[in-house]
Structures are given as C-alpha cells and as structure tokens.
Chain A
Amino acid sequence: MRLVLRGITKRFGSVVANESISLTVEPGEIHCLLGENGAGKSTLMNVLYGLYKADEGEIELDGEVQHFTGPGDAMAAGIGMVHQHFMLIPVFTVAENVMLGNESTGFAGTLDLDASRERVTEISERFGFHVDPDALVEDLPVGVQQRVEIIKALSRDAELLVFDEPTAVLTPQETDELMEIMRQLKEAGKAIVFITHKLREVRAVADRITVIRLGKVVGEADPKASNVELASMMVGRPVELVVHKDAPTLGADALVVKDLRVVDLAGHKQVDGLSFTIRAGEVLAVAGVQGNGQTELTEALLGLQDDVSGSIVLDGIELVGRSTRKILDSGVGFIPEDRQVDGLVPQFTIAENLMLNRSFKSPFVKSGNLRIGALREFAEVKLKEYDVRARDIDSLAGNLSGGNQQKVVVARELSRDLRLLVAAQPTRGVDVGSIEFIHKQIVATRDSGIPVLVVSTELDEVVALADRIMVLYRGQVVGIVPADTPRETLGLMMTGERPKDLKDVVA
C-alpha cells in the first residue's frame, strides 16, 4: 500500500506540532522518520492513525484520500500501529488482546476464542514469533509483548505498519530480532514507517530516511550517511556523539559495597550478593537488561529499600541502616531513573524543585521558614548555568520537555558538596543536545574527584561514560570489565553468560 501525506499541519493551541509535513511511503519499503523527542513524529503518526485530527492537509492511501474519524477507520483502511507504550491489556490473554475490537463471534455475541487462537498461531508461525495465544500478556517479556502488538496489526490485514519508537524498551538482542522481523515484513510487501531517534537502528534497516525537526521536514537523508551527519541534521547544528574524557585520575577507594542483598516486598532477592568498589574520580557504569536489580541497587544506596543486608561504606561511613535524609546529608547525589516519579514534583516550579533535597536547613530554610529570596537567586543562577530552556524559574517543572526536566534534576543534585553521585538512566527520553550536556556534567563530576555510579540500559551510554563496566544479571555481578570491552561480549554478559577467558578488572 502506498501512503502519501500532503501538507499535514497539526496545532495544539498556539503550539505547532506538525507544520505542513509531506511524506510518501512505498510498499516493500522501510521508511525511517528520524527526529529528536518532541520533534513531532508521534503527533504525525497519531494523525495518520486517526487519534488526532489534522488541522490542514490530507492523507492518501493508494491514491484515495482518507477521512479518518478514529483509529477504527485507520485500521479498516489497512494501517497498523505498534505503539511506543503498548496498547495491550495486561490481564487479557494474547488471543483476547488480538481479537479485541475485531472479535469473531458465535451465537448471541459469544466470543469465538478458537478463531483468534488460530489466527495468532498462524501469524506467529509465518514470521517465527513463538507466541503462545493463551499466555497472559502481563506475564510475557517486553519483547514478546511487542510481537503481540505486531500480530494484532497483522491480524487485521494491515498493509502499512507504523513502529513508534519500538526499541526504547528492548534489549540489544531483542532489538536485533525486531530488525529482522521488520525486514521480513518488508519482504512480504508491507510498507513500514519506523519512528526513532537512534541512529544505529536507522542505518541498519532504513531504505529511506526523512528527518523531522521542530515539527517540520528538514530533508531526506541517505541511509549510508554517517552518524554525525544524521545527528547534525536531527539537531540542526553540529553535535559531538563521542564523550570526550581524559584518563581518570584515581584516588583512594571511596565507595566500598560488600555482599549487598536486597529483598523486595514480595520476598524476591533482587540484589544478590553484590560486591564492588568505586575509587574517587572514577565512573563505574552498570550495564544490564532492565529489571536485573539495577533499580534496587541504586535505591539501596539511597536508603530507599527496606530489606537490605550487607554493607555500603562511603568514605568510611556505613550507609546501610541510615535514613535517606542522612544519606543525602552525607553527600550522596541521586539522579533517579524516572524523573517524573522520583526526580521532580511536576506541579512545583523549577525553583521549588531545585530545593527538594535541601528542604530542612540552610541555605533555603531558616527556623522553619522558606528563604524565598535566596532560593530565587540560586534558581536564576542554575537556570543559566545548566541551560534549562524555560520561560523563567516560576515555570512548572511538569511543563518542561524531558531534556530540560532532567537538567533541573542534574542541576539540583550537582549543586551540593558531593562525595558520591548515583545516576540512574541519566539520559532516558532526553534529546541529543541535552544528552551531550548531561554527559559532560557527569564527566566533570568525575574529574573533580568524586566517585560516580552510572546505571544505564543503553549500551552506548555505558561505554561512553564508563571507566569500568559492571554487568548485572538477576541481581548478581556477571563481571566487572574494562570500558573497551567489545559490545558483543557485553551483550552476551547481559544474558548472564560469562566468557571463559574473562578477567575482572580491579581499579
């Protein structure tokens, strides 16, 4: 099916999310939409899918102009969408999810589950998906859930498939598998739109690339173009993709973790006997597929977990058993993995968010009262220093873009006297420009002699920042390896396998 978008414009109030975007997608082609977070890619696809109504422009499928009033129309016309946040119902089985909205029924509207099971099995076998139609979706790994989304689209005979940031939640292995699936679908003659901001993936599968910036098409790019060329087009200025850092100047052992165990509320061991050391002026990056104990590790360091045993010694002081406030006061800075939940109060202003970890004593509080003058002065300075793009310090944190929100968190955490920085997923959902900035700040922290623990599920980020890499699998250390370890080896270690000739490095 051939898709033509002509002059699509979509406004939200005074904000123009898409400005006169035109695009053609041919059958049997993977067309990449490349752009930063907030460039308007998802908005465009939601217009295509009937979730939003375009203010101007038209959608044409195989030469016919379409007038979608909702996703139902788009699906009927042969458009299938694999959403960034899966549109699956966790407590339903695969078969139920696939049939929802398109149910085959018997007498008096009774569900014909067998028909749906058959459909799932048939599609699943055709593309080698290995999906059990009777499994509950919530019990499936994320990668398999995504295949259920694909099956859902294919079961409705979709000829055009839209993948909206599909790799954001996948492991490197799952990403490779998805790329293979996309190639197969292309072979089967489907037209594919692939939305992403990850350059490696674009270059791996794209037949054509359209780059979008600030709601406008800035041009087509050659799939053979270099990463730097693509990134510069995406951001609109030359960017550095490599983090420049000198060899570390190592000090004494600063953070010593011994035999750390964390048991969660359900009684499962999430961190199981971790021991490692970070020296002053060193970045230890933790690699691993999400859910292998990273969250619990960082929370244990901050005193946010209840059932912790073992020892965490920072500059000679035992942290296990201390309250979170005492741990913060002893100089631990924390960039939490989900800024929306743990990093910021979205309904507070930037200034208020900047004092969240110092809400008891000076400089911002004096005998129980806020020192608003001091806070405002501080906030003004940090806004400039950290290049937070906001109207002023009274803007609500919730209204900022992801990158600017994260800069507020980083500014708050780095503007105290630190003895340890814990950064969990420091650049998740952050635009390329801000990533560059935040990485520089982390390296600067390390260069000032502070030990840094970085947790990231993005292998690129781990490799870029690390002096040493610790790979976690099911709460245990697979190995602690040098930063120049090949990606393949790291990828293998992330599945829990330890290469035979591997030697741990001690800093």
Chain B
Amino acid sequence: MSTVTTPTPAESGGLAPDPAVVARKGSGAKKLPIIFGVISALLAIVLLRSGHTGDTTFQLSAETDFVTLPDIVVPSMLTAWLMVLVCVALTAESVRRMLAHTPQPIWIPIAFALAWMTGFLSWAAADERIRVVSLFAGAVALAIPLIFGALGGVLGERAGVVNIAIDGQLLFGAFAAAIAASTTGSPWAGLVAAAVAGALVALVLGLFAITYLVDQVIVGVVLNVLVIGLTNFLFRQVLTPNAQTLNAPEGFNRLPIPILGEIPLVGPIFFRQTALVYVLYAVVALVAFGLYRTRWGLRVRAVGEHPKAADTVGIKVNLTRYRTILLAGAIAGMGGAYYTLVSVNQFNRELTSGAGYIALAAVIFGKWDPIRATLAALLFGFATNLGGVLSAIGSPVPTQFMLMLPYLVTIFAVAGLVGRSRPPAAVGIPYQQQ
C-alpha cells in the first residue's frame, strides 16, 4: 500500500496525539501572563511619559437613534490609570493561574482587552469625543473582506488544500465586480462576477495543487503575484481608457434593517450596513453550520484530516477537494467586491494591499474554525479602524504607528495568543491514488 501518499497518523502506535502539539500546549500557558504584563507596562509608560488633562467623552449612540443613550464623560487620566490597575489585577490573576497550573479561561483575555482599550482610548482622546458606535461599525465594515477571505481559507484548509491565494481571489473578485457592476449597473451582478472570479483563481490553484501535485504554498503565492500583474496590466490597458463605462461600478448602498437597526448600540453597529454585510452574515452561518452539522461538512473535514480513510469509505477525495476549493474561492472572491462596490467604488491597482494575508492569519488565529476566524478578522478590522479614528481626532499617537496597528495585532495574535492549535492533519498534502 506504499503507493498511496498520505499521512498515516496510525503508524503502528495508534492515534497518539501529536507530540509537537502537546509541547506547544505546555509552553503556551506562560505566554498569556507575559504578554499581559508587557502591554500593561506599555500603557503605564505611555501614561507616565505624556500625561493629559481633561475629560474624555464616550458617545454611545448615533444622533439619529430612536433610543438615545446618554454620553459618558470621564476624567481622562484617572480612568486611564484605573484601567491600568484593572489590567495589572488581571495579569496577576493570570500569573496565579499559571503557577497553579489551572487553565486560563477565555474571559480573562477579553476583560483584559476591554480594560486596556478603554484606558488607552481615555488617554488618546482626552478632551475629545469617541464615537463608540462608529468605531465598531467601521470595524465591521473594514472586516468584511477579511472575513470573506478567512472563510475561504478555512474551507480550503479544512479540505486539505492550503489557500494562500486568498489575496489573489480578493483582488480578482474586486476587479471582476467593478467591471460587471459598471456594465450592468447592478451591484448584485458585480457580486456574482466577484464570486466567479474568485472561483476561477481557486480552479487554477486546484489544478496545480490537486491534480498536478505542485507545492500548494508556492502555487498560492505565485497566483497572488500573477493576479496582481494581470489586474495591473488590464487596469492600465483596458480600465483606465474606458473608466466611465468599465470602472464606474454601481455600489451597494447602506440598507438599515427596520427594527433590528433601532436596538441601542447593537443596531447601528450590525444592522445599518450594506447588503454585502448581510450576505456575509448568512455566509458565516451557512459555512459554520455546513461544516459541522451536515454530510457535506463531515466529508470535507474527513478529506482534510485523513484522505485515505475517506477514500476507503467511498468518498471521492480529489473531487471533494475541488468542489470545496471552488466554493472557498467564490466566497473569498465575494470579499473582493467590498472594495469596488462598497469602499472605493472603483478599481485601483493592488487595492487589497495584502488583506488576503491578514485573512490567512485570521484562519490560523481562528484555529481553522469559521466562527473563531470571523472573530479574529473582526479584531483586525477593529485595529484598522481604530488607527483611522485616532488619526482623525488628532491623538498624540503618530499616524505611522496607527497604520502599523493591524499588522502588529496580527503578529501578536498569531504568535502570542494562539495557544494550542492543530491544523487539519492532511493540509498541504496532495492525495494520490493508485
């Protein structure tokens, strides 16, 4: 049976847990307190070095809200220092748990992040007004392409194909959406075209990675570069001379949902978005449900974990992989439509600026789970938006630093916080049948 190339987790010793994974679990426990300590200290140093006076206003409602929540006004420095104390207390709790070898529950990092963020914002926006709603609503909007991309990544990898080509799928989707929406005048046609374009990139990936057994990481990277080159060329040769007819897409307009949109805080953040966002909600739900609760999902996961086992129960491994990667590409492609139909309303060269790679980070940070990957993408969206908001209100943090923020968050999140994570066992390994 040596003619079949597959990972065999059950070589003679049975299905023991991967020692490398166990090892990471062992060292992961120390990471959290260390990271907490470092960034708490960072905040304290910033506060010491450059104190502010005055009050910070947290505005919780938009002016148009049906139910208006009152503004919260707090003294900047006092609140900031208070939050530093909370951070220190949480760090201490985390250290205690590390020493006692008890697990670190999820509420600790969440509470820490909230406290730190509140403290940081009180300081950065002294004498200014923080529009909490628009901070978060903007984060959701900016996270759209990342979430679509991350879902595409999760699907591909769950089926055993590394989808590095997310960026290419986003970019090609954006390009196709611009042309289709310009020529037809319908953003929905643009969205469909984006999905098709993404699937097309995925088809090429599949052809090389599944059928011709080429290294998947290399194919993915090459595809990204290829799409950049191709769209740059077409942009200059075709789109620019015909900008009015081919590169003036009809975009999605904001579409508030009647009742849900009026819920305080939640409504304006989640339900006063464009139709593309509502499509996204549906896609997230469908992917999560499909992957864990349906026959389709069971087979996709089987193919990504142990393709030979799937083969021996009559599942067509490579066909399943093709179908999944095409779907993954279509979803990622839809994310590209965000750029040309929502955000910029016209195609520009390399306008994804590497968002696909951030989406890939969200896949890993989200441990190959659609919901977690979505949350991870939201975090990156938040970091991006925070940078924009703080620059706009003229905070003392240099703009260049704010532009780095999402990438810093990515590095911290992926390297630091992802304790134990186990990718699908057969990811990146082509399946060859005798």
Residues of A at under 8 Å CB distance from B?
12, 42-43, 46, 49, 51-52, 70-73, 75-76, 81, 83-92, 96, 99-103, 105, 108-111, 137-138, 140-142, 145, 152, 168-169, 264-267, 290-291, 338, 428
Tell me which residues across on chain B come within 8 A of A52, comparing CB atoms.
434
Q: Would you list 16 pairs from A and B whose C-beta atoms are within 8 A, ordered by A residue?
A: A75-B314, A85-B11, A87-B313, A88-B15, A90-B10, A90-B425, A91-B422, A92-B301, A100-B298, A100-B299, A101-B313, A101-B315, A145-B10, A264-B19, A266-B26, A338-B11
Tell me which residues across on chain B come within 8 A of A75, comparing CB atoms.
313-314
- B14 at the binding interface (Cβ < 8 Å): yes
Residue among B17, B22, B23, B312 making CB contact with A71, cutoff 8 Å: B312
Residue among A86, A100, A110, A338 making CB contact with B313, cutoff 8 Å: A100
Say yes or no: B306 contacts A89, CB within 8 Å: yes
Binary interface encoding of chain B residues 21-40 relative to chain A, with 1 for a CB under 8 A from any of its CBs, else 0: 01101100000000000000
Say yes or no: B425 contacts A12, CB within 8 Å: no
Tell me which residues across on chain B come within 8 A of A96, comparing CB atoms.
298
Say yes or no: B19 contacts A90, CB within 8 Å: no
Min CB distance, A193 to chain B, in Å? Answer: 16
- B49 at the binding interface (Cβ < 8 Å): no
Min CB distance, B28 to chain A, in Å? Answer: 11
Binary interface encoding of chain B residues 254-278 relative to chain A, with 1 for a CB under 8 A from any of its CBs, else 0: 0000000000000000000000000
Q: How large is the interface on B (under 10, 10 to 19, 20 to 34, 35 or more residues)?
A: 35 or more
Tell me which residues across on chain A come within 8 A of B23, comparing CB atoms.
265-266
Q: Tell me the dominant secondary structure on chain A's binding face.
A: loop
Tell me the B301-317 residues at the A interface (CB within 8 Å): 301-302, 305-306, 308-316
Tell me which residues across on chain A come within 8 A of B75, comparing CB atoms.
none
Tell me which residues across on chain A come within 8 A of B1, comparing CB atoms.
42-43, 46, 51, 84
Tell me which residues across on chain A come within 8 A of B316, comparing CB atoms.
70
Report the Cα distance A49→B433, complex, angstroms: 14
Report the Cα distance A152→B309, complex, angstroms: 12
Say yes or no: A137 contacts B302, CB within 8 Å: no
Report the Cα distance A92→B291, complex, angstroms: 13
Say yes or no: B309 contacts A72, CB within 8 Å: no
Report the Cα distance A91→B425, complex, angstroms: 9
Tell me which residues across on chain A come within 8 A of B16, comparing CB atoms.
138, 291
Residue among A103, A108, A137 making CB contact with B15, cutoff 8 Å: A137
Report the Cα distance A89→B299, complex, angstroms: 11
- B102 at the binding interface (Cβ < 8 Å): no
Tell me which residues across on chain A come within 8 A of B295, comparing CB atoms.
103, 105, 109-111
Report the Cα distance A144→B315, complex, angstroms: 24
Closest A residue to B426 by CB, please name it.
Answer: A89
Tell me which residues across on chain A come within 8 A of B400, comparing CB atoms.
none
Report the Cα distance A51→B16, complex, angstroms: 26
Report the Cα distance A92→B13, complex, angstroms: 18
Report the Cα distance A169→B301, complex, angstroms: 26
Say yes or no: A49 contacts B12, CB within 8 Å: no
- B64 at the binding interface (Cβ < 8 Å): no
Say yes or no: A90 contacts B306, CB within 8 Å: yes
Say yes or no: A88 contacts B434, CB within 8 Å: no
Tell me which residues across on chain B come within 8 A of A264, comparing CB atoms.
19, 22
Say yes or no: A91 contacts B305, CB within 8 Å: yes
Say yes or no: A266 contacts B25, CB within 8 Å: yes
Tell me which residues across on chain B come within 8 A of A138, comparing CB atoms.
15-17
